[in-house]
Structure 1
Amino acid sequence: MSLIKIALLVVSFHAAHAESPSYEAVMPVGAIRKDSTITLKPVDAKSSFFNPAVKSTTSETGFQEVDNNTLYKVKSLKTSDTSSDADDLKALSSNDQLVVSKTDLGSGNAGCATSESCTLSSDIPVYKTGGFDFINWFLNLFGLGEKPKSLVTPVQEKFTPSQAMASAMSEKIEKSNKLLGPSKEVIPACTNQLPDHLKDDKKFGCGLQQALDAFKKAKADGKTSKDIFMFNDFSSGGVMGKMYFFNSDGSLAQVLDRNPIWVSRGEGGFGQGKGSMRTPDGAIMTKSYKPPRGGNIRDGIELVGLEPGNQDIFGRGVLLHGWDPYTPTQGCLGVAGTIDTMKRGRATLGGEPPYLDQLKRGILKDGGVMIYNFTPNKVSKCF
Structure 2
Amino acid sequence: MRPFIVGAFIFLLQAVSYASTEAVMPIGALPKNSSVKLQAVKEGTRFITPQYEGNSGFLKDVDQNSLYQVTDISGTEDTSDNADLQALAKSSNLVVQKSDLGTNSATCSSGDGTTNCTLTSDVPAYKTGSFNLIDWFLNLFGLGSKPKSLVTPSTGTEVAEADAMAAAMTEKIDSTNRLLNSRSTTANCDEKKFPEVIQNNKTLNCGLKQALEALKKNKDKVNQDKFIFNDFSDGGVMGKMWILNADGSLANVVDKNPLWVSRGEGGFGNGRGSLKTPNGAIMTKAYSPPRGGNIRDGIELLGLEPENKDIHSRGVLLHGWDPYTPTQGCLGVAGSLDTVRHGRSKLGTPPPYLDQLKQGFLKEGGTMIYNFTPSKVKSCQ
TM-score bracket for the superposition, by shorter chain length: 0.5 to 0.7
Residue 38 (structure 1) aligns with: none
Q: What is aligned with 1:334?
A: 332
Match of 2:13 in 1: none
1:189 to 1:273, Cα distance in 2 relative to 1, 3 A? farther
Which residue in 1 is equivalent to 2:280? 282
Q: Distance in 1 between matches of 2:274 and 2:296?
A: 20
The answer on 1:201 being equivalent to 2:201 is yes
Q: Check the 8 A contact 1:338/1:346 in 2, yes or no.
A: no
Alignment of 1:283-302 (within 5 A): 283-302=281-300
Whole-angstrom CA distance in 2 between matches of 1:265 and 1:372: 13
Q: Give aligned pairs, total.
A: 234
* Structure 1 partner of 2:214: 214
Q: Which residue of 2 aligns with 1:79?
A: none
Q: Which amino acid aligns with 2:293?
A: G
Change (3 A) 1:366 1:305: same
Say if 1:377 and 1:252 are closer, same or farther in 2 by CA, change over 3 A.
same
Q: Could you tell me whether the CA contact under 8 Å between 1:187 and 1:195 is conserved in 2?
A: no
Q: Is the 8 Å Cα contact of residues 223 and 368 (structure 1) preserved in structure 2?
A: yes
Q: Secondary structure at the match of 1:292?
A: coil
Separation in structure 2 between the aligned mates of residue 352 and residue 283 of structure 1, nearest angstrom? 27
Within 1, Cα distance between the matches of 2:342 and 2:246? 38
Is residue 322–residue 350 contact of structure 2 (8 Å, CA) maintained in 1? no
Q: Cα offset for 1:351?
A: 3.8
Q: Which residue of 2 aligns with 1:262?
A: 260
Provide the secondary structure at the position in 2 that maps to 1:338: coil
Structure 2 regions of 5+ residues with no counterpart? 1-34, 40-58, 69-98, 109-116, 134-160, 162-167, 178-192
The partner residue of 2:308 within 307, 310, 313 is 310
Whether contact under 8 Å (1:336, 1:350) holds in the other structure is no
Q: 1:247 to 1:7 in 2, by over 3 A?
A: closer
What secondary structure is seen at the aligned counterpart in 1 of 2:328? coil
Q: State how far apart, in whole Å, the 2-side matches of 1:188 and 1:326 are.
A: 29
Distance 2:262 2:255 in 1: 19
Q: Give per-residue Cα distances to partners, 1:87-126, cap 9 Å, x unaligned.
A: xxxxxxxxxxxxxxxxxxxxxxxxxxxxxxxxxxxxxxxx
Residue 257 of structure 1 deviates from its aligned partner by 1.1
The alignment's TM-score, normalised by the length of structure 1, stands at 0.53
Q: Is the 8 A contact 2:264 2:326 kept in 1?
A: yes
| Shift in Å, 1:310 | 0.4
Q: Which runs of 5+ in 1 are unaligned?
A: 1-5, 11-52, 63-132, 159-170, 172-184
Task: Say whether residues 1:154 and 2:129 are aligned partners.
Answer: yes
| Conserved 8 A contact 1:187-1:258 | no
The Cα offsets for residues 192-220 of structure 1, whole Å up to 9 and x where unpaired, read as 6555443221100010000000001111x
The equivalent residue for 1:56 is: 62
C-alpha distance in structure 2 between counterparts of 1:205 and 1:300, whole Å:
30
Report the counterpart of residue 358 of structure 1 in structure 2: 356
Aligned twin of 2:113: none
Amino acid at match of 1:355: Y
Does structure 2 retain, via aligned residues, the 8 Å contact 1:321–1:356? yes
Whole-angstrom distance in 1 between the partners of 2:288 and 2:62:
35
In 2 relative to 1, CA 352–147 (structure 1 residues): closer, same or farther, beyond 3 Å? farther
Cα deviation for residue 60 of structure 1 reads 4.9
Instruction: Compute the RMSD of aligned alpha carbons.
Output: 4.1
Quick one: percent identity of the two aligned structures?
Answer: 58
Secondary structure of the residue that 1:380 maps to in structure 2? helix
Q: Deviations over 1:287-336 (max 9, x none)?
A: 00001111000100000000001011001100000000000000000000
Q: 8 Å contact 2:225–2:245 — kept in the other structure?
A: yes
Give, in whole Å, the separation in 1 of the partners of 2:343 and 2:232: 28
Secondary structure of the equivalent of 2:215?
Answer: helix
Return closer, same or farther for 1:336/1:282 CA change in 2, 3 Å cut-off: same
What residue identity is the alignment partner of 1:204?
L
* Length-normalised TM-score, structure 2: 0.53
- CA gap of 1:147–1:260, structure 2 versus 1, over 3 A, is farther
